[in-house]
Amino acid sequence: MTTTSATHLVLIPSYNPGEKVYETVRAARQYWQPVWVVVDGSTDGTAAGLQAMAAEDDGLRVIVLAHNQGKGAAVLHGIDLAAAAGFTHVLTMDSDGQHPAEQIPVFMDASISAPAVMVLGMPVFDASAPALRVQGRRVSNAWANLETLWAGIGDSLFGFRVYPIAPLQRVMRHQPWMRHFDFDPEAVVRLCWRGVRPVNLPAPVRYYRAEEGGVSHFRYLRDNLLLSWMHLRLFLGFVLRLPLLLVKRGVGRF
């Protein structure tokens, strides 16, 4: 059963995802309307395929960016358009089929019942998950929890989550970062600093092998350096904010 909403939409940033994107979009549309896809300068032909799907589906909108700008930039473009159209929340999910479309109604219901929070996916890994990725994310999660005084971020990197649009817009417009792979962890830390409480829900994740149509743009050296720089600037911001964060924690606002 497909749920239609005037406040909550599914937003899928997409960059060269291969054929899996069509399966991902169809699965999302099975559970929710509307679904928007922001094609972030893809060169694999999927923009045309998605536009053809949208031409036959009133619940699907495809926004095509001329050049690749990064995941965070694609999300920002999408939430700006969503806010202008009157939406208040977005559920973000990856275009490569890793995220569980069947959990969309569960996450949306949690957001609708508590619209001030951000609903974060807690990944439940199966045997397809690369061990190095699973172990490595623990480091980023530890830093994110330190930077927020353990405000309750279950997983800082998992991109299946529901954001309230207005505070996310304010966060992104006040600094130039979080436009690339650093978007997901930096978004949750900075939103916590602004008093947006995290709520964690479990969500299974599937990593597809190349022969199954899986596409990964993660590069260990490049993206780990990006995350290291991100946590360095977040830690400096944490130190500067620490007195205020302690006060907020003391009065129960953080």
Question: Could you give the C-alpha distances from 148 to 197, 199, 231, in angstroms and in order?
Answer: 11, 14, 12
According to the model, what pLDDT value does residue 252 have? 67
According to the model, what pLDDT value does residue 254 have? 60
- Domain locations along the chain: 3-250
Beta bridge partners of 64: 39
According to the model, what pLDDT value does residue 127 have? 76
174, 218 in Cβ contact below 8 A?
no
Tokens read off for 183: 């978007």
C-beta contacts of 171-177 below 8 A and 24+ residues apart: 172/72, 172/76, 177/230, 177/233
Segments in the chain below pLDDT 50: none
Q: CA 244 to CA 178: how far, in whole Å?
A: 23
According to the model, what pLDDT value does residue 41 have? 97
According to the model, what pLDDT value does residue 100 have? 96
Phi, psi of 211 (to 5 degrees): -70, -15
* Angle between the N-to-C axes of helices 104-113 and 20-31, in degrees from 0 to 180, rounded to the nearest 10: 50
Beta bridge partners of 90: 9, 163
Residue 237's CB is within 10 A of a number of other CB atoms, namely: 15
72, 183 in Cβ contact below 8 A?
yes
Residue 147's CB is within 10 A of a number of other CB atoms, namely: 28
According to the model, what pLDDT value does residue 130 have? 72
Q: What is the pLDDT of residues 10-32, one digit of tens each?
A: 999 999 999 999 999 999 999 99
CATH node for 3-250: 3.90.550.10
145, 189 in Cβ contact below 8 A?
no
According to the model, what pLDDT value does residue 116 have? 98
CA diameter of the chain? 54
What's the predicted TM-score (pTM) here?
0.91
Q: CA 49 to CA 67: how far, in whole Å?
A: 18
The residue type found at 198 is P
